[in-house]
Amino acid sequence: MASGKRLVASGLILLTLQALAAPASSVDKQLKSNAAALKKNQEEIQKAETKVRELENKESGVLKTIAEIDQGLTQTREQLYVLQKKESSLRTAIKEIEEEITHLQESIDTQKKAIAARIRDLYIHGKREEWELLFNLLKENENPERKLYWVQRLLESDRVTIENYLASIEKQREKREQLGTKQKEMAELHENKSKEESKYQNQLLFQTEVLTKVKKDKTTQQRVIEEYKQNQQTLTTLIATLEKKRQAELKRQAELKSKSQSPTAAKNKVENEVPIAVGPKCTPLSGEIISHYGYHENKDLGIRLEHKGTEIRGQKGDAIKAAAAGTVVMTGNIPGHGPSVILDHNGSYYSVYGHLSNIKVKEGENVKNCQEIGSVGNAESTNGYKLYFQVYKISSKSAKGQTQDPILWLKN
């Protein structure tokens, strides 16, 4: 019988402790996720600040400087957003802990009343030793080892009651420690958030000063126009180089095959070569077109620029897709466009994708229509996350290409 009581008592204690020990909540998981995002953003912001300082200390392009300032602003905005999310998660966690502490206190008060009633019952019936033990166990400043000694001397039913009571007090103590930790974390977060907000305001002021200078200074405006033209010329030259390389490879292959064919047949094959159609097309990014093909008035800089491509607004990490099936002929950094990918569409067109945050294809790789080739970024962008999309039509008689309106090209 006594053995059965011990089993029941042990079971009650186990169930009570399991109920009191709350598992890791989704709030805690969210806080860990926010902490990782904060660390990553801080590293990116430090890199951006280093770049801006380098640009300030040397003669750099105006567009390059504006792009770095914009990138710093974007990263600080993202940092503030993550801080706000963490603040919300912390506030929820603190509220949950406070509620648990309140519930535990209610449970402790109820258990304490039950023990007090038990003491009165024992006192009335003259069981002096047992009621004194129970009474001493209610003293919160009593030695833990002494409490354990007294608990061991109690009857099974009273032992379960006391052990549950002590477990509730211990759980409440742990929760109070957790609350203190979260409150300290909240105070540190508020301090960090205040610094980031101040930094953001300074970055905005710096950007305004630079843009104002460009608008008022005709010489600086001319520098911007020249830089923009130079970036476009660099891209045009790159396409021409890629096309020359392609044609040279075609010629080499034709010469190799001519050894097994008659001279007339080989010559006719090269002269009659016609680029194949690119096949079905795919919009590389679904988003707002923030800059159309052709002349465009840049209100921030106060100048008119000719755009050889189009800019499509995107969100950080959005997938960039191949506009048509083709071959990856170049991956890397292009001045004014940052990390980029160039596709050759069977010798008839080239398409360019700029400002990528990462590139998921390699040079020489054949890609399918609508295949993901990278994701949206803001490297060397003067106005946030976007895709720079440009299309070249290749002449069958030379390596020179001519840009086309990418949106119209997609519709044809």
Same domain, 276 and 242: yes
Q: Are residues 226 and 211 in the same domain?
A: no
> Are both 272 and 304 inside the same structural domain?
yes
**Model pLDDT, residue 55:** 45
* pLDDT, block means (10 residues), the chain with 412 residues: 37 36 50 58 55 48 87 92 93 95 94 81 65 66 65 67 86 94 94 92 88 84 88 92 88 80 54 63 94 87 88 94 96 94 92 96 95 94 94 75 92 86
Are 43 and 146 contained in the same domain?
yes
Closest to 151 measured CA to CA, from 167, 162, 135, 136: 162
Nearest to 173 by CA among 90, 91, 98, 101: 101
- Greatest alpha-carbon pair distance for the chain in Å reads 125
Residue 288, class by beta-carbon neighbours within 10 Å (0-12 exposed, 13-18 middle, 19+ buried)?
A: exposed
Q: Is residue 127 located within the same domain as residue 73?
A: yes
Tell me, yes or no, whether 161 and 297 share the same domain: no
**124 with 32, same domain?**
yes
Supply φ then ψ for residue 292, to 5 degrees: -85, 165
Question: Which of 185, 216, 247 is the endpoint of a domain?
Answer: 216
In terms of domains, do 266 and 377 share one? yes
Rounded Cα–Cα distance for residues 374 and 49 (Å): 25
User: How far is it, in rounded angstroms, from Cα 328 to Cα 371?
Assistant: 12
pLDDT at position 5 is 36
Tell me, yes or no, whether 164 and 103 share the same domain: yes
Residue 266 and residue 150 share a domain: no
Give me the pLDDT at residue 146, please: 65
Domain range for 299: 221-411
Domain match, 49 and 77 both:
yes
Q: How many Å apart are CA 221 and CA 362, to the nearest integer? A: 37
Interacting residues of 337 by C-beta distance below 8 A, sequence separation 6+: 231, 235, 352, 354, 355, 380, 388
Domain end residue (candidates: 216, 247, 282): 216
pLDDT for res 264: 55
* Total tally of structural domains belonging to the chain: 2
129, 229: one domain: no
For residue 303, what is the domain's CATH number?
2.70.70.10
Could you tell me if 9 and 156 are in contact, meaning their C-beta atoms sit under 8 angstroms apart? yes
Instruction: Tell me, yes or no, if the pTM score tops 0.75.
Output: no
Counting other chains too, the contacts that 154-160 makes at CB distance below 8 Å and 24 or more residues apart are: 154/130, 155/130, 156/2, 156/5, 156/6, 156/8, 156/9, 157/5, 157/9, 158/118, 158/130, 158/134, 159/9, 160/9, 160/12, 160/13
d(CA 241, CA 247): 10
Q: Out of 158, 189, 216, pick the residue that ends a domain.
A: 216
